[in-house]
Each structure stands twice: as C-alpha cells, then as structure tokens.
Structure 1
Amino acid sequence: MTVATAGSEPAVPPVDETSGEESFWDERASSGHEVVASAAGDLIVRDAREFGAYARTGGWAFALKVARSVRPGGQAAGETPKVSAKGFAELAGCSPERVMRFYKAWDMAADDGVVPQFEALAPGEDVELPDADVWLSYYSSRNSATSVRGTAITAAAEAEGIRPTKALEVAENPTALRAAILADPSTAEAARAALLDRLKEDPALQAELARDVVRTDGLKKAVATESRAADRIGYVRQIAENGQIKTPAGQTLDAPVELRAEAERHLSLLDELDDDEEAGEWVTEAYDTVKGLVVQAVEADPELRVQERRTKFYSSLQKATKVFEELTFDDADDIYEDDMVHRLEELQQAIATCITALRKAAPER
C-alpha cells in the first residue's frame, strides 16, 4: 500500500470535495451521532485513515520515513539531500538510537528483498509496504537486542519459533516473570522445564541450585524422598531390564524367570503413569513386592542361603575391623574410663566366642 507522508498532498481532501465523506457524516448524523463541525470531521477522517494505514503496515510506515530521509552509511552529506540519523532525530524530537532501530529494521528487510534499498528512495517518496505482521521479524524496540546477551536471547527465541521481541521483553522485566511464575502454574511449569534444560550446560548454575536445595528444609526433604524413589525404581528396573538381582548381603545374581516377570509387570505400571499422577505408592508397592520375592528366592535355595549368610558375616567383620583399626592408644592414659575397659573386655569375650564357633565349623583336615 502507499503511505502519505509529510510534504505530500493532504491525506484527506476537504469534506465538500468528497462525496464519500459527505455520505459518511450524513450517515453518522442520521444515526443520532452529533457532528460537531466540518473541520473537526476532516481531522477525524484523516486520523481514521492514518490509523487504518498503520494497522495494515505497522512500523513500516515510520521506517519508510527514516529510510527515505536518513542517508545510508558511506554517503557524504553533499552526495544526497538526506540528513544524518542524528539530524533526523533532532527534527523528530527523539533519540538517534530510536531512529537507528527503525533504520536497521529497514536495512535488514532490504537485504532480504522485502523493501527497497535506501539508495532507491528519495525524500517524500511512497512505496508499497509489507504487512504489519512482517515488521516484528525485523524490528527490535530494545537496545539490549544488539548486546551479546540480547543476541543469545534472540537466537534462542528464534529456535523456539517465537518473536525475539517477546523474549527480550521478558528478559528485561524479571519482576514480571517472577509474578507470572508465582501466579500461574503453567508459567511455572514452563520455567521449570527451561531451567532443567539450562542446568545441563551450566555447571555454575547446578552448584548454585544444589546449595539452594540443601539450605531449604522443604526442598531438601523433597529431594531425599525423590532420590529414594528413584533408587527403588532403579532396583526394579535393574531386575526387569538386565535380569539381575541384588541380594540383601550385596551379591549380584541372575534373577529367576518368575521374579523378572513380576519386576517387568510393576515397571510397566510405573511407566504408564501420567506426569501429573502421584507415583509414590506405586513405587513403594513395586519395590516391596520385588524385594520380598528376592528374599524368598534366597531362602528357597539352601546353597545360596549359606552363601548369603557368609557374605553378610564377612562384610560385617570387615567393617568392625576397620573401625577398630582406626582407634589409637597413644593417649590412653589421659582418656581412661572404667566403662571403656569394660566394653573392650566384653568385645574380647565375644571375639573369642566367635573364633571358637568358627573353628568348630571348620572342615576337618
């Protein structure tokens, strides 16, 4: 469409010269609306038409004024009647930065062949302008869009298929973002998902979030609960997918066919839960059921039962030995207490009894 500009003929002819406008005002009058004056009517019609032009073209109407009035980079003042961006801004009563944002939007669109190049435009010249929807693909109303941070936000917005101006607006108003997160569950969910994606590539943020969690009692408890649930699901998944069980004593063995089938059944139930369903009870039931079956499998096999007891006994013996070896007796004179001696004597008797029992169980040579 063609946009009327300063210096051209008035956008709206006088009412008495345009029968369409006369019928417009006649219709308004006949419908009961008061017509104040013919001069006021002219101004209103002009405003309405300019509004309609802007509604169809958006910021292109203003960008055109800049593009045909501001000289391109590299052109000297004597080569063109156009003015500098600074001079245009002074005439417009705004900042040069604002003028340049319109200038850059037109420049990018010209590179894409959407609008004519600056050199092809003369002051006051009108051209057909793109639709308003196209404008936001080229224009950014924020200086931050050209910064390193703004460039990253713009690229991320484009990757998500949204307008960069929307993402930049949110980034420049974190208080508004906080309010939306606090008030709206769907916004909070979107923020949570984005934060999780960011955590994968940001070790510093991972550390900060971890510190926040351990400092917040409610979060710390929730993390512990979820961690325990994840361990239990992992226990069931290990049996279902790998066909291996871990006994109470810590042995890793091949799972019986029946046990593996039961683990697969519980795992399929867990996988079918919707994201908004509470999985706690299902996880507990799956874990308790499978663990109970593991105990039954161990008890049903005499050889395995003996091996399990042996493994458990030896594990406890190693732990006790390590603890006792860490004791030091260099300062025993200073720390003496009767109770200490009494406990050590009881321990000595228990060890002697244990040794005797083990020797009796030893095979004859």
Structure 2
Amino acid sequence: MPLNTRILLDNRPRGEASVSNFRIETVETPPLAEGQVLVRHHYLSLDPYMRGRMNDAKSYAEPQPLGEVMIGGTVGEVVESRHPRYAPGDQVVGMGGWQQYSVVDASQPGALRKVDTTHVPLSHYLGAVGMPGVTAWYGLVKIIDPKPGQTVTVSAASGAVGSAVGALAKARGCRVVGIAGGPDKCAYVKDELGFDDCIDYRQHRDYPSLAKALKQACPHGIDGHFENVGGMVLDAVMLRTNPFARMAVCGMIAGYDGQPLPMANPALILINRLRVEGFIVSEHMEVWPEALAELAELVGSGRFRPRETVAHGIESAPEAFLGLLKGRNFGKQLVKLV
C-alpha cells in the first residue's frame, strides 16, 4: 500500500487562520477491508466553508476535529477495489479530504460517485459540475426563481459559485450583474462568462458609493440577489432591491475570520417585503441529479466556461486556502495532487 501525505487541523485559529493551524504528516495507507476502495486523489477542492469548520463554535456543521485530516472534496481514480461496483481505473468524486489517498467504504450511500470525463474535465466535478455548481443552482432556481427579463445580481461573481449563478441566470433570460474584486475579474465576468455588467467593489470605499454604481448597472432595480460575501456588498444591494425581491444567502465570507457583520439598513427587509433565505446545499440532495444534469450540459456545450486556480502538491494546500479567504484565487480553487 502506498505512503499517504496528508494535512491535519492541528489547532484552532484565533482571529485569522494561518499556516500554523495545520500539520502535515506522512503515514502508511492501511490495507483494504471487504467493501472498501483505495482512491488516489487527482484534485482537492478548497472552499470557504472550511474556514467555519475550523472553529469550535455553533454552526450548521460540526467543527473539524483536531488531529484529523481536513475535510474536503476530491476527484481521483480507483487504484484498488474490494467492492463489486468499483474497479481500478474508475474516476470518482468524493470527500477524501486534504490527502493524497483515501480508503473509502464504498457501501456507504453517497461516499463515492463515478463520473464521466468524456465532455466534462475531471476537475470540474469539484466546481461547476459539483458542489459549488449545485449550490448556485439551488439558490437561483429554488429561492430566487427568476423570470425572463428580471435582474439578478451576484457577489463574488468570478468565483466557483458566483460564475455558475450567472451562467444559470443567463440561460433563463435574465439580466445578470456581478460584483467582483479587481478589473481582471470583472473583465472575465463580462467577456467570458457573459454577464451583462460587473462592478468592481474595490473602486468603492463605502456601501452608498457601491449602491450608486448598482443603480447605474441595474436601472430597473434588483429582483433577485445571490449573496456570497455580506458586509458592505450586502448593504449596497439592499438599497437597490425591488419590492418582493428574493435573496439567497449562501455565504458571508467577509466575516469568516470572526469580524462582526452588522447590517446598515435591516428595515429594508420589511419595507421592500424581501424574501431572505439562507441554505446549505447538502440538505437538499434531492435536487442534485437535476442540477448536475443542467450544469454538465452548460459546461459540455461550451456555454459555461468556468475558470480554475490550481496550486500544486498537497503541501501547497494551506497557503492556497488562506489565499482563497482573501480573494486571491480566480474562479474555482483547486490543488493538483498528481
């Protein structure tokens, strides 16, 4: 059995997360029991939700245990199998964690899923045709439920979730306006993803200034908003919402390091009769087949061209993760392991 290099959560952050919160080790991979498979990971997914799980605090998911492999989605190849449904060479997606190999009980529902890379690259099953894509689909389709001609805005528009929201909303005939950080990301959102407009929040020092830019980009107001950031961005969007606008709250990355996130104008929820709904995509497994089918078609047809930022080697995961939390990635953040 191969040696396995892996990264564990060594201690919990106080304030901002740092490389010192993690520990790397190399161990022997245990022999397989009946029903297990050995997967060699090709890519590891890094996602903002991981920051919340590093804390020992009440949240929608259990904290990451200290001394255990960091949680994370992976895609890879079966290299050994003692399960009848899997054979060496099968390409699979699962939750293998921050490590080069994982031993998986393939009899557990949802533990592994075979994927077809004929039209969709393997890495996209961690992004556009994976959990981030389904997150975008659920928030847009089930909460925002936009109609053709309506205006939909999305924060962190160049990221794995935001870019998928835009592609799905454009496919439904909406005007789509993104909010992203920096001219390069905004250019990608407009020129490659096909958003109608994109606002660089870094050009605005406060939420009234950002709201003014949103008024120009959304002359008929905002009918639906997909929130990934919170803070100033959310305050600005709320000033531009139409009556009965719908808001899907997916993330609040502006506060993931423990900063408070007060709202400037919460009365607008009442004044505009907003529907504001937070959600966790893992609680809605019933929609995954439908969502993945649409996302795979968008990617396979070339109508959605997601971008990836790729770090190399398992040792690079902590720094890449910290960069993700500061917005240094462009599109989906991955770690290539082979």
TM over 0.5: no
More strand by share: 2
> Which of the five TM-score ranges fits, normalised by the shorter chain?
under 0.3
Which has the greater radius of gyration?
1
Q: TM-score, normalised by structure 1?
A: 0.19
More helix by share: 1
